[in-house]
Amino acid sequence: MENDAHIVVDNLTMAYGDFVLQRDLTFAVRRGEIFVIMGGSGCGKSTLLKHLIGLRRPARGTISFNGRDYWQAEERDRERITRTFGVLYQGGALWSSLTLAENVALPLEEYTELTAPRIRKLAALKLALVGLKGFEDYYPAQISGGMAKRAGLARAMALDPEILFFDEPSAGLDPISSRLLDDLLLQLRDSLGATIVVVTHELASIFAIADNAVFLDAAAKTMIALGNPKTLLAEATNPVVRNFLTRGGSMPPGGPTPPSGAGDGKHHKTI
């Protein structure tokens, strides 16, 4: 495992009762990288995300943050770890009866003792960071789908999390809005230094943002590739991985690129 690993998943098995969804998942997410969970429909991508954010307990194996086993920690310590997370769900999950500023303010009101004026200023700042300055008093029904995703991201960032988790952030967006959201994730990673974990099947996003990725396979019920997606495309011998990364004739800009150093697919494997 990397010395700078922020998240370590070791020998993880995910199951619903006796039904095993995925087994033997082992990978590390390095601090400050964008890590993508990819694979076909029904392979367990969103379920893995639920395990990572503490909504489901592993059937076997461990998930550690900064070297601490999440499920072996006391409940109070688990709550502290969870407070370092920010989560953006597929639909944005905004409260329709609240303005964008009020949506972003909710975590601040719940978990801090800041004054109302200070919370209002912080909510406006978070919205400005995602390009929504001036939209503080708009309601979710008054904005586009792409803007709603950005507002959800602003709320996920409200408590200055160390780790941001996104579940299919580009789902339902047109290609231009999807690319703008990808650019925003890259900017946030670079400016805030946050670790970002993204569940997605969108090839354009995968090639645009991923520093590293894990590929889950529904048939094998385990991970069958780990590494930078461009490197996997160039070097993968497993036909399932290659077909996924080339479906529809999609290719990253400039075609597949071999690894060229740290953070560019240096650590990879295909099975």
- Distance separating alpha carbons of residues 104 and 101, to the nearest angstrom: 5
- Tell me, yes or no, whether 89 lies in a domain: no
- Work out the pLDDT band at 251, boundaries 50, 70, 90: low
- Work out the pLDDT band at 270, boundaries 50, 70, 90: low
Spell out the residues 6+ positions from residue 251 whose beta carbon is closer than 8 angstroms to its own.
207, 233
170-196 confidence digits (pLDDT tens): 877 888 888 888 998 998 888 888 999
Q: Are residues 80 and 120 in the same domain?
A: no
The last residue of a domain, from among 161, 184, 209: 161
Contacts within 8 Å (CB) and 24+ apart, 256-263: 256/230, 256/231, 257/230, 257/231, 258/231, 258/234, 259/228, 259/231, 263/33, 263/211
Contact 178, 202 (CB under 8 A): yes
Residue 263: predicted pLDDT: 41
In the predicted structure, residue 267 carries a pLDDT above the cut 70: no
Residue 227 DSSP code: E
Q: Are residues 76 and 105 in the same domain?
A: no
Query: Count of CB atoms within 10 A of residue 73's CB?
Result: 15
In the predicted structure, residue 80 carries a pLDDT above the cut 70: yes
- Distance separating alpha carbons of residues 65 and 53, to the nearest angstrom: 11
pLDDT (mean) for 145-151: 88
Q: Are residues 135 and 257 in the same domain?
A: no
Q: Are residues 194 and 246 in the same domain?
A: yes
Residue 261: predicted pLDDT: 40
Question: 242 is in which domain, residue-wise?
Answer: 5-84+163-270
pTM: 0.86
Number of domains in the chain: 2
According to DSSP, the β-strands at 222-227 and 269-270 are antiparallel
- Distance separating alpha carbons of residues 89 and 238, to the nearest angstrom: 31
